Structure 1
Amino acid sequence: MSLPTTNSPDTTLDSLGSAAARATLRAHPSRGYVQIEPPVEPMPRLSKELGGAVELFVKRDDLLPLAGGGSKTRKLDYLVQQALDSGADTLVTCGAVQSNHCRLTASAAAREGLGCHLVLEERVAGSYSPEAGGNNYVFGLLGAKTQVVPLGGVDAAVAALMEELKAAGATPYYIPGGGSNALGALGYARAAISVVEEARKAGRPFDAVVLCSGSGGTHAGMLTGMRACGDQTKVYGVSVRFDAAKQKSRIEAQYKECAKLFGNEAPEEDVVIIDSQVGPGYSLPTPEMRSAVEAFAKLEGILLDPVYTGKGAAGLLQLVREGAFQPGARVLFLHTGGAPSLFHYQPVPE
């Protein structure tokens, strides 16, 4: 399978594309949570374990600021700034019962001195426990107030909560699940631009990027930023919840909205979804996820989470084993964080 690369015969055009993309970013104020880009690290032992034909790398967004790190810090960089600019004194958001996004939103609220309300959706019946560890424990530690709703109950609960807060004199700002809208996705457009610039500077572009595809802002933002730089590297989104058709439709919609901010098109063929790792459903374990979590830990000393990055990494390993990449290909895995939930789920048996 032949993959497109970032090689371009005209480096001047590359530079101009990158400069124009960064100019678009500067037009949207951010809070400054991301001051230093997390490293891109090689994974030589994992590469060797998989036969050594493909060079694997990892972008360590699990090392980003705010409590416990992770991808949502990039999105909140823009969303929290907008909240403050609008005069908000309270952040409201939603997520699953072990939501990394909710943890980081609560962390940002604590840092900014804002109130924080979390609507937690019990996507798997019986999966919520007030005594649970992991992210669920951290919500309260950070001072957030939580309420739990059944699957499909988020919209009504959020609408009622917003009205209740306004009636009490608060000024709430609603952040969608995962921080996934066009503004939040700018955080990953910025990440993509940095990845492209670093690879070009080194003279060794990546041949593919593999990432988790969940609420969609990370996936859409990475595509937007790379294409804004003129980079056509293929991006594989490993779905953690929906089948390929549904997830592709969701990502395409966000991609179009984010790309508009850069004045670009969003070709549907850019959105590639791998749905083989969803398993029995969102947050439910699979043997492949367990194997990937164990491999990253034992071979590279990197902790994944079982809901997102564990399944994303399982997708990466599947692609390598099935020969999706040419020999010598350089493949980047985007580690979007989530390790705190690992201590709740404990997916790898002793």
Structure 2
Amino acid sequence: MSSLIQDDFNEQANSYLKNIEGMSRIQLSLLRTFYQNLKPIGDLLGIDLWAKRDDLTAAGFGGNKTRKMDFLLAEALQAKATHLIAVGSVQSNFCRIAASYAAVAGIKCTLVLGGAQRRHTGNHLLGEMFGAECVYVEGDNWREWEDAAAKLEMKLLAHGEITYRMPMGGSTPVGSIGYVLGFLEIMNQAHGVGSVPSIIYTASSTGGTHAGLLVGQDISGWKGYIQGVAVAPRKHQLAKETLMLTALTCGMLKKKPDIDVLHLDDAHVGEGYGIPSEESKEAQLLFARRCGIVLDNVYTAKAAAAIVADAQSGKIPQGATVTLLHTGGSPEVWA
């Protein structure tokens, strides 16, 4: 038994999960993903480093968004939706996954893509390959992207479509359930190899994955902490959104939230969302050359940079067991 989590944590968690037994799920994700020891990098940093390889969930090129879409698509089809609407940047991982799930379900999909660059490469190219229609919004204001999606939805409704509009990142309580289960998957694998982490690092931009992990922690009794790594310059808003999603997701499980502290670090944002920093570039090369793992510029390279910096500064104690949630995003690397 680890001092970080009790042997009966599954029983404790299941007492809450029974409250969503009737929840629909269309599992296109290939689970359980690998739980990989990154000894060459861990030895270099003086820590016991592992990666949860959710870049290998397979559906639509994989990544953390598939765990969310397994539940979001099910909810959409329950509502008899004929048209999915997803919002994100031109190189959005979530939009790519939404398009792939819509293709499998045989329903229409429109991607509302923000930002100045329209490169038919990476996620953008894949979204079109999956059959999605793309609508573009100039500028980098996320609120304007969401507003454009809402206006599009009104037009589609007026033309008789039954729409299912998802916010950026698929960050809703329904989507976050995917990472409540994902957290328990990590704990079962870590417990099985006898190396339960004291810290789990995850990149965060809209808070849905982070919230799901927090709820998983809450219902399991794990004594470590989730270290969110902000990838956009919106830490205070992100903190509010993450805590709200955590509370709402707990509500679905009929659990009163019991999260004392939200760990969210914005020291690795660099010049902004989607812009690599020198530290994230170094971390990207470190993981590629030591372990053959590809990290994307937007999310995972910045989360990895945080681990490197925290290990070197002593924030992570020497010898501590640390897990990086690899959230995918590899198509962005060659965009």
Query: What band does the TM-score fall into relative to the shorter chain?
Result: over 0.9
Instruction: Look up the SS of the partner of 2:203 in the other structure.
Output: strand
Distance in 2 (alpha carbons) for counterparts of 1:42 and 1:158:
41
Distance in 2 (alpha carbons) for counterparts of 1:94 and 1:264:
30
Q: Which residue in the other structure is 1:137 paired with?
A: 125
Q: Alignment partner for residue 136 of structure 2, among 148, 153, 162?
A: 148
CA displacement at 1:243 relative to structure 2: 4.4
Q: Alignment partner for residue 105 of structure 2, among 88, 109, 112?
A: 112
Q: Which residue in the other structure is 2:40 paired with?
A: 45
Q: Closer, same or farther in 2 for the Cα pair 1:153/1:167, shift >3 Å?
A: same
Q: Which residue in the other structure is 2:84 paired with?
A: 91
Structure 2 residue 268 is matched with structure 1 residue 277:
yes
Instruction: Look up the SS of the partner of 2:256 in the other structure.
Output: coil
Instruction: Look up the SS of the partner of 2:260 in the other structure.
Output: helix
Instruction: Look up the SS of the partner of 1:226 in the other structure.
Output: helix
CA displacement at 1:101 relative to structure 2: 0.2
Structure 2 residue 237 is matched with structure 1 residue 237:
no
Structure 2 residue 71 is matched with structure 1 residue 78:
yes
Distance in 2 (alpha carbons) for counterparts of 1:24 and 1:340:
37
Q: Which residue in the other structure is 1:208 paired with?
A: 199
Could you tell me whether the CA contact under 8 Å between 2:218 and 2:259 is conserved in 1? no
Unaligned runs of 5+ in 1: 345-350
Distance in 2 (alpha carbons) for counterparts of 1:281 and 1:334:
21
Give per-residue Cα distances to partners, 1:236-286, cap 9 Å, x unaligned: 000001343332222111111111222323345331001001111111121
Q: How many residue pairs are counted as aligned between the two chains?
A: 331
Distance in 2 (alpha carbons) for counterparts of 1:55 and 1:7:
17
Q: Alignment partner for residue 179 of structure 1, among 170, 174, 180?
A: 170
Counterpart amino acid of residue 103 in structure 2: A
Calculate the TM-score normalised by the size of structure 1: 0.90
CA displacement at 1:24 relative to structure 2: 3.6
Q: Alignment partner for residue 24 of structure 2, among 21, 29, 34?
A: 29
Q: Which residue in the other structure is 1:20 paired with?
A: 15
Could you tell me whether the CA contact under 8 Å between 1:192 and 1:226 is conserved in 2? yes
Give per-residue Cα distances to partners, 1:143-196, cap 9 Å, x unaligned: 100111132422331122112212222211111110101000000000001112
Unaligned runs of 5+ in 2: none
Q: Alignment partner for residue 169 of structure 1, among 147, 150, 160?
A: 160
Q: Closer, same or farther in 2 for the Cα pair 1:246/1:175, shift >3 Å?
A: closer
| Percent of pairs with identical residues | 30
Distance in 2 (alpha carbons) for counterparts of 1:102 and 1:155:
13
Q: Which residue in the other structure is 1:348 paired with?
A: none
Calculate the TM-score normalised by the size of structure 2: 0.94
Distance in 1 (alpha carbons) for counterparts of 2:100 and 2:15:
32
Could you tell me whether the CA contact under 8 Å between 2:311 and 2:317 is conserved in 1? no
Distance in 2 (alpha carbons) for counterparts of 1:21 and 1:63:
28
